[in-house]
Amino acid sequence: MKINHLAVVVHSVEDALLFWRDALGLPFNGIEEVPEEAVKVGFLDANGVHIELLEPTTDDSGVAKFLDKRGPGMHHLCLEVDDLEHAMASLKANGMQLIYEEPRVRDNGRRYTFVHPKSTGGVMIELYEADEA
Amino acid sequence: MKINHLAVVVHSVEDALLFWRDALGLPFNGIEEVPEEAVKVGFLDANGVHIELLEPTTDDSGVAKFLDKRGPGMHHLCLEVDDLEHAMASLKANGMQLIYEEPRVRDNGRRYTFVHPKSTGGVMIELYEADEA
């Protein structure tokens, strides 16, 4: 199991890049608009772990509400798993609360779910299947 | 530059281990008391990135205050740098706010500082010199 990415919610990707890209000097892999999640994402890399800076592009998305309620900061940590069903079964057997009880599928075919922060000690965790099903 | 660890503040290391160690199955490297920082720390590993679960052991430490104010969750992200002075100079030149303006030294001789969340988009960042000075 490895960390795929850390997602950080920010007011402005451009402003946050002044730290992550310019001052810290992390490799920068561009900005993408993701309309279906209503975010603009800045991608950086720290030795194989991606850092994603998420800026909401509407006022009513999940990310926008997170920013309103909690302010900027860590949104979730994404871990790659080999077998999502196996991981989900282990979590359920241990009484952990999943946000999606069944795997969801992204446009690129990758399957994922999220574990509720209540079950993890306050950090939302994305589980992401490393190989396509 | 690589990620050394993620630190997560929790109410109870034992409870959080039910998720990270038991349900998720991450390799567990034990629990340590760190009296000088008034925390008990649970150590896990995700493919070379350490995950540290911090439980305050007094009511008045920085970590205890964080937990009171923000609730459990991500405390900081630690990045290894080769040359701390160089990294700090670059951050200052870019107007970033350091919590310690001069490197601090741990008992083991390792040098570090922190960057204020205001400068990073909401995430406290520890910079940690990979080789002893």
B66 and B20, same structural domain?
yes
Query: For residue B121, what is the domain's CATH number?
Result: 3.10.180.10
* Identity at A7, one-letter amino acid code: A
Q: Which residues of A touch B95 (CB under 8 A)?
A: 18, 23
Task: Say whether both B97 and B56 belong to one domain.
Answer: no
- Residues of chain B in contact with residue A22, where contact means CB-CB under 8 angstroms, are 94
DSSP strands (E only) in B21-124? 28-34, 39-46, 49-56, 73-81, 104-105, 111-115
> Residues B42, B16: contact at Cβ < 8 Å?
yes
Q: Do the beta carbons of residue A111 and residue A103 sit within 8 Å? A: yes
Query: Considering only alpha carbons, which residue of chain B is nearest residue A55?
Result: B121
* Residue span of the structural domain in which A25 resides: 1-76
Boundary residue ending a domain (A76, A99, A122): A76
Element (H, E) at A39: strand A39-46
Test B19 with A53 for CB contact under 8 angstroms. no
| B79/A49 CB distance under 8 A | no
Residues of chain A in contact with residue B16, where contact means CB-CB under 8 angstroms, are 120-121
* Among B108, B20, B12, residue whose Cα is nearest residue B57: B12
Instruction: Compare CB distances from A53 to B3, B49, B121 and report the shortest one's residue.
Output: B121
Residue A10 in tokens: 């920010």
If 0-12 CB within 10 Å is exposed, 13-18 middle and 19+ buried, where does residue A50 land? middle
The verdict on a CB contact (< 8 Å) between B90 and A23 is yes
φ, ψ dihedrals at A63, nearest 5°? -65, -40
Total domains, chain B? 2
Task: Mark which of A59, A76, A93 sits at the end of a domain.
Answer: A76
Q: Which run of H or E residues covers position A16?
A: helix A13-17
Q: What is the pTM of this model?
A: 0.91
The residue type at A100:
Y
| Pair B30, B63 in one domain | yes
Same domain, A18 and A50: yes
Of the residues A40, A55, A76, which one is the last residue of a structural domain?
Answer: A76
CB-CB under 8 Å, B24 with A1: yes
> Could you tell me how many CB contacts below 8 A there are between chain A and chain B?
130
Q: Work out whether strand B111-115 and strand B49-56 pair parallel, antiparallel, or are unpaired.
A: unpaired
In tens digits, what is the pLDDT along chain B, a chain of 133 residues? Answer: 899 999 999 999 999 999 999 999 999 999 999 998 899 999 999 988 999 999 999 999 999 999 999 899 999 999 999 999 999 999 999 999 999 999 999 888 899 999 999 999 999 999 999 864 4
Query: Model ipTM?
Result: 0.89
